[in-house]
Copies of this chain bind each other. A is one copy, B any other.
Amino acid sequence: MPNIYVALLHYPVMNKNGDVIESAITNLDLHDISRAAKTYGVKGYYVATRLVDQVKLARRIIGHWTNGAGADYNPARRRALELIRMAESLEDIVQHIAGQENVQPKTVATCARKFDDAVSYDKMRELMRDGKPHLLVFGTAWGLAQETIRQADYILEPIAGRTGYNHLSVRSAASIILDRLIGR
């Protein structure tokens, strides 16, 4: 089983003009990505925001499904949302994983745009076979800030569909990328 973690950042991400912003949490990002993470054996799903109110909102949603009425109503959902850890920043997430794994995870930035030094899915599957921790980093809004992408150990190539249209939701992109990297 590959040693993979997922991070969803709400800062620093871009708006449609390319400005760096802090985005709001979307309920279904918590549900859909945790369910996909559980399906593919991801070890932890980190959701990062610096906004105290947003952390509170996210914890309330997660609590409903992991300890509240939702946990009884839908135990499968509970098992997925239990993977979620709230964090303040990508740096926090990297440190938390390093504390668990006794080694820094390699960070893998995802982006809808093509970078010259982007790594293919086949190549990334191969790199991940070393068993060391890898952290797939996803951005909300219009995607991860340039600087965050540039600082990652790897940049994953964008998902090519069949049309040149490249505006998948982060929920769809995360699902497809997990399937391509971990699916049989």
| Residues of A near any B CB (own CB < 8 A) | 1, 16, 28, 31-32, 35-36, 38-41, 74, 76-77, 79-80, 159-163, 165-169, 171-173, 175-176, 178-180, 182-184
Cβ of A40: which chain B residues have Cβ within 8 Å of it?
Answer: 161-163
Given A39-B167, A40-B162, A167-B77, the answer on whether A32 and B172 have CB atoms closer than 8 Å is yes
Q: Are B39 and A169 in touch, CB under 8 angstroms? A: no
* Identity of the chain B residue whose Cβ is nearest the Cβ of A180 in the assembled complex: B179
Q: Are A36 and B183 in touch, CB under 8 angstroms? A: no
Given A39-B159, A162-B1, A184-B160, the answer on whether A171 and B168 have CB atoms closer than 8 Å is no
- Bound-state CA distance A179–B158 (Å) is 13
Can you show 21 pairs from A to B with CB atoms below 8 A apart? A28-B169, A32-B169, A32-B172, A35-B172, A36-B169, A38-B161, A39-B163, A39-B166, A39-B168, A41-B161, A77-B167, A80-B167, A159-B179, A162-B182, A162-B184, A171-B172, A172-B175, A173-B175, A175-B175, A176-B179, A179-B179
A138 to chain B minimum Cβ distance, whole angstroms, is 13
Q: Are A167 and B38 in touch, CB under 8 angstroms? A: yes
Cβ of A178: which chain B residues have Cβ within 8 Å of it?
Answer: 161
6 shortest A-B CB distances, which residue pairs?
Answer: A39-B161, A172-B175, A41-B162, A76-B167, A32-B169, A40-B161
* Identity of the chain B residue whose Cβ is nearest the Cβ of A2 in the assembled complex: B162
A66 to chain B minimum Cβ distance, whole angstroms, is 15
Given A28-B28, A167-B38, the answer on whether A161 and B183 have CB atoms closer than 8 Å is yes
Given A35-B172, A175-B172, the answer on whether A183 and B162 have CB atoms closer than 8 Å is yes
Q: Are B182 and A161 in touch, CB under 8 angstroms? A: yes
Among B1, B39, B160, contact of A183 (Cβ-Cβ < 8 Å): B160
